[in-house]
Amino acid sequence: MRFLKPLLMIVFSTLLFSQETSVQEKLAQIVDRHSKFHFNMGVLLHADLNGTVYRIQEGYANREKKLLIKITDPFQIGSSSKVFTGVAIFQLIEAGKLSLDTKISTFYPKGSNVWKLGNFKGKNYFDQVTVGMLLNHTSGFIDYLNVYNDDKKAMEIYGKKQQYSFNELINLAVNFGDANFKPGTQFKYCNTGYTILGDIITKVSGMNWRDYIQTHIFDALSLKQTWFGSRLPQTAAAQMPQGYFELQPSFMPPTLAGSAGEIVSTVDDIATFIKAWGEGKLYKKSETLHTQLTQGFHQMSPGITNLTYGYAIMHFGNYYGHGGQTFGFQSYMMTDPKTHDTITIGVNDAMGHAMELFMDVTDTVFISAKKKETDTH
């Protein structure tokens, strides 16, 4: 399953809002249109713009039961979880326990199965892969979640098993053969790398990676509505909307994504998280955030020239954050570290194009800001 992939660009006609139309009304119209276009899927939007928070909900949490989605409903954020994993790694870098240049072979005995990920054209390059390469997807490793190039097939095969261990996830990648390229020579999105990063957090911190992130991020920011899918309380599970794939109810085993995409949260909580990250509140040193904002970036897709990927973070325009997709949900969380404007999105459809909704929202905000600037002058 692609937690992040080049999305089909839908060209929306520019909305002709009257001068009296408020930002709230504009955003509500955008969300309503997006929901209806995707067969009344549930859409959640949290937008913190110029110090004002807008929270909008539209569509169904469950199409079959006609249950409306609520702004407080938790959902699978998919690969947006990678920023949490990345923050944990950078916290450990600050603590002097590793660096971006640390070779991951440091943590695994030569000859162990994970080394097979480095096989490429008759030679093994595992001992050349660094922590930084895992963070910005330049390791070359096979991505176990995208090997089939067919989302439906992946869902059918991977959905049969409820629990996946670290070694089982590594085997899923190893079993598909050689790496894609020599480490550090290209960019290719890879969930396998983030699975390894979670294991490295466990090895370096002395805590299970879930416990580390729970303590140093969830609890540190008082994220009361954020959990790991494999530890989801019954009350939260009961509140979570139904996820859909091709209009059919779907399910994804949480441990299949693990440290690459297991987190369940709300738009309010992920807004708190990504905004705090952009303000540097999760680090002790300002240069740590500066590194993430300025280093390691590669273009993600030929079709979207201004979308790049760095160390556990995506960059689009003035915004930094991440998108995510599971078998039944999509998410998008972005913040502008200069203005602290923050936009977070959740939809309960794997084909829901959360990134396009984000672009439509930012276009409207930009138009509104320009109009306000013109009116002022």
Can you read off the two tokens belonging to residue 265?
A: 């949260």
Mean pLDDT of the chain: 91
Q: Which two tokens stand for residue 33?
A: 């249109």
* SS3 label, residue 124: strand
**In this structure, what DSSP letter does residue 354 have?**
H
User: Is 23 contained in some domain?
Assistant: no
Distance of alpha carbon 116 from its chain centroid, rounded? Answer: 27
Q: Looking at residues 307-316, what average pLDDT do you find?
A: 97
Per-residue pLDDT at 148? 86
Residue 80 has pLDDT above 70, yes or no: yes
- Average pLDDT for residues 142-166, to the nearest whole number? 89
User: What are the φ/ψ torsions at residue 108 (nearest 5 degrees)?
Assistant: -135, 125
User: Does position 1 have pLDDT exceeding 90, yes or no?
Assistant: no
> What domain range is 259 assigned to?
40-350+358-376
Can you tell me the distance from the alpha carbon of 294 to that of 291, in angstroms, rounded to the nearest whole number? Answer: 5
Is the pLDDT assigned to residue 302 strictly greater than 90? no
| Residue 264, beta-bridge partner list | 76, 227
* Residue 254: closest CA among 196, 326, 191, 197: 326
Please give the pLDDT value at position 18: 42
Task: Answer yes or no: is pLDDT of 71 > 90.
Answer: yes
pLDDT tens column, 190-201: 999 999 999 999
Q: Is residue 285 part of a domain?
A: yes
Predicted confidence at residue 6, as pLDDT, reads 36
Q: What is the predicted pLDDT for the residue at 369?
A: 53
- Whole-model pTM: value is 0.92
Residue-wise pLDDT for 253-301, tens only, equals 999 999 999 999 999 999 999 999 999 999 999 999 999 999 999 999 8
The answer to whether residue 218 is domain-embedded is yes
Average pLDDT score over residue span 89-114: 97
Give me the number of domains the chain comprises.
Answer: 1
Task: Read off the CATH number of the domain in which 283 is found.
Answer: 3.40.710.10
Predicted pLDDT at 16: 37
Q: Is residue 6 part of a domain?
A: no
Task: Using alpha carbons, list the distances in angstroms from residue 352 to 34, 116, 224, 306, 314.
Answer: 9, 36, 26, 21, 19
pLDDT band at 367 (very low <50, low <70, confident <90, very high): low
Amino acid 259 reads S
Cα 87-76-169 angle, rounded to 5 deg: 70
- 58 falls within a domain: yes
State mean pLDDT over 1-11. Answer: 38
- Percentage of residues of the chain with pLDDT beyond 70: 91
pLDDT-derived band at 13 (thresholds 50, 70, 90) equals: very low
User: 164: pLDDT confidence band, cut at 50, 70 and 90?
Assistant: very high
In the prediction, which pLDDT does 161 show?
Answer: 82
In a domain, 9, yes or no: no
Q: Which two tokens stand for residue 221?
A: 């920011």
Q: Would residue 299 count as lying in a domain?
A: yes
Q: How far is CA 316 from the centre of its chain?
A: 14
Q: Report yes or no on 317 lying in a domain.
A: yes
Residue 76 phi/psi, 5-degree rounding, is: -75, 125
pLDDT bucket at 150, cuts 50 / 70 / 90: confident
In angstroms, how far is the first alpha carbon of the chain from the final one? 49
User: Residue 159's pLDDT is what?
Assistant: 84
